[in-house]
Amino acid sequence: MGELRINKEDIIRALSTVEEPDLKKDLVTLNMIKDVELGVGEVRFTVVLTTPACPLKELIRQRCEDAIHTLVDPELRIVVNMTADVTTTAFGNKTILASVKNVIAIASGKGGVGKSTVTANLAIALKNAGAQVGILDADIYGPSIPVMFGAEDLQPTVTVIDGKNMINPILQYGIKMISMGFLVPADSPMVWRGPMASQALKQLMGDVNWGELDYLLIDLPPGTGDVHLTLVQSAPVTGAVIVTTPQKVALADAKKGLQMFMQPQINVPVLGIVENMAYFTPAELPENRYYLFGKGGGKWLAEHYELPFLGEIPLVQGIREAGDEGRPAATYTDSLTALAFQKTAEALAQQVAIRNATLEKTKRVEMTV
Ligand SMILES: Nc1ncnc2c1ncn2[C@@H]1O[C@H](COP(=O)(O)OP(=O)(O)OP(=O)(O)O)[C@@H](O)[C@H]1O
């Protein structure tokens, strides 16, 4: 114990044998170990993860403890403080969304597959893990985020910053949010809404006082259209998530959605697929699963395109009711539904971290068309 005269270098050497399972480098090389302090019979240090929603948190902690016990002293008391500093590749000469670390587009090919529901609940799950999260509801054809968060009667306020009018996002359940619904009248004709939508999206990215965010989730309209192009042309998008149901028709449209992001001129990494309404589970029989829309379609799509499968969300009455009540299901943290969203959010945060560690910086898409 104390008389072995352990020093900080011994601890660092031991921790440099612990590999970050996703990033495939050791924790010391990745600069994830901070504040090593030795006391009598005890060592304390901090592990700075790449996301607070890291699904490997406990595994990493265990491996650190094992390495020190094996290589330094089997008796040493170890106190590991796990924190996170969310990574980004978007900083630099970025002017739009300058304080947002990761812009994540949530898309679906087909309408009504639950894209907004998934966006709302992933945001809550990421926030519950400790991240700073915002939602930009860019779904011009049915901006449902305000209703899902019970915010439909709220109006954003404006603050003047450096002589410029900035819109303050609405804060509900710890999520900063803004919606197209606040800017584009829902009853305006479709032909107007198209060009207005692109303009409004630029405004919602550029003129909103977002503050510092780890993740900004953009709820896109279904399909592939002007709003999608405006997004990738105006802001560096970290990656896209495709939401689908297991149904054949939804999968066919989901393919179109993901192919759009994968086009060489657009080249936004697809972070993964979420399968919503994967199976029906009655509240009174949570063990029973009924595959109403077919089984495993989302997983198949992910495998086919060699993309990560982020998770499956059951079809449950509670999710629909929570959405209608204005309080997303993931806020009821002890439910099975919240667990499904938590797992999916962790898988998403993990893919963002891997993407930031391995791929090149996000760029705005330059297009001449
Ligand atoms: N897993 C689920 N379980 C139960 N109901 C769900 C689930 N996912 C979505 N819903 C319900 O399905 C309806 C459509 O969902 P949502 O509005 O999220 O879809 P969307 O894909 O965003 O639609 P849009 O085409 O309007 O953009 C909503 O009433 C929602 O509450």
Residue 167: inside a domain: yes
User: Does 160 count as an annotated binding residue?
Assistant: no
3-state SS assignment for residue 364:
coil
User: Does 39 count as an annotated binding residue?
Assistant: no
Residue 89: inside a domain: no
The enclosing domain of 30 has a CATH number of 3.30.300.130
Q: What total number of domains does the chain contain? A: 2
- pLDDT of amino acid 276: 96
Average pLDDT rounded to a whole number, residues 255-262: 92
Asked which of 36, 56, 84 is the last residue of a domain, the reply is 84
Q: Quick one: 151 and 299 in the same domain? A: yes
Angle at alpha carbon of residue 229, lines to 175 and 111, rounded to 5°? 65
Mean pLDDT of the chain: 90
Q: How far apart are CA 80 and CA 326, in angstroms?
A: 38
Q: Quick one: 123 and 173 in the same domain? A: yes
Q: Quick one: 202 and 249 in the same domain? A: yes
Our mutation pick for probing the ligand 1 site, out of 113, 117, 144, 244, counting the most ligand atoms within 8 A of Cβ, is: 117
Asked which of 27, 52, 84 is the last residue of a domain, the reply is 84
User: Does 110 count as an annotated binding residue?
Assistant: yes
Q: Is 102 in the pocket of ligand 1 (CB under 6 A)?
A: no
Q: pLDDT confidence of 365, banded at 50, 70, 90?
A: low
- pLDDT of amino acid 294: 83
Q: Is 119 in the pocket of ligand 1 (CB under 6 A)?
A: no
* Most confident segment among 50-64, 128-142, 193-207, 351-365: 50-64
Q: Please determine, for the modelled complex, whether the ipTM score is greater than 0.85.
A: yes
Distance 290 CA to ligand 1 centre (A): 18
Q: pLDDT confidence of 194, banded at 50, 70, 90?
A: confident
User: Does 343 count as an annotated binding residue?
Assistant: no
Q: Is 144 in the pocket of ligand 1 (CB under 6 A)?
A: yes
- pLDDT of amino acid 368: 47
Q: Quick one: 36 and 114 in the same domain? A: no
Structural domain boundaries, residue 173 = 100-358
For the CA atoms of the chain, what is the radius of gyration? 22
- pLDDT of amino acid 2: 45
Q: Quick one: 33 and 133 in the same domain? A: no
Distance 328 CA to ligand 1 centre (A): 12
Q: Quick one: 152 and 71 in the same domain? A: no
- The model's pLDDT over 61-104, given as tens digits with 9 standing for 90+, comes to 999 999 999 999 999 999 999 999 999 977 555 678 889 999 99
Place of tokens 């409004």: 200
Residue 270: inside a domain: yes
Q: State what percent of residues in the chain have pLDDT above 70.
A: 93
Q: Quick one: 291 and 164 in the same domain? A: yes
Least confident interval from 9-23, 213-227, 280-294, 295-309: 280-294
Q: Which helix (H) or strand (E) holds 184?
A: none
Q: Quick one: 35 and 154 in the same domain? A: no
The enclosing domain of 282 has a CATH number of 3.40.50.300
- pLDDT of amino acid 296: 86
Q: Quick one: 50 and 161 in the same domain? A: no
Residue 161: inside a domain: yes
Q: Does the pLDDT at position 364 exceed 50?
A: yes
Q: Is 337 in the pocket of ligand 1 (CB under 6 A)?
A: no
Higher pLDDT pick, 358 / 30:
30
Place of tokens 């089984």: 295
Average pLDDT rounded to a whole number, residues 48-53: 97
Residue 90: inside a domain: no
Q: Quick one: 276 and 153 in the same domain? A: yes
Residue 366: inside a domain: no
Q: Which of 107, 105, 126, 101 has the alpha carbon at shortest distance from 361?
A: 101
Residue 92: inside a domain: no
- The model's pLDDT over 219-254, given as tens digits with 9 standing for 90+, comes to 999 888 888 889 988 888 999 999 999 988 888 888
Q: Quick one: 74 and 166 in the same domain? A: no
Q: Which of 107, 132, 119, 171 has the alpha carbon at shortest distance from 53?
A: 132
Do 64 and 334 contact (CB within 8 A), yes or no?
no
Asked which of 84, 115, 147 is the last residue of a domain, the reply is 84
- pLDDT of amino acid 103: 95
Residue 59: inside a domain: yes
User: Does 274 count as an annotated binding residue?
Assistant: no
Max intra-chain CA distance, the chain: 80
> Ligand 1 atom closest to Cα of 110?
25
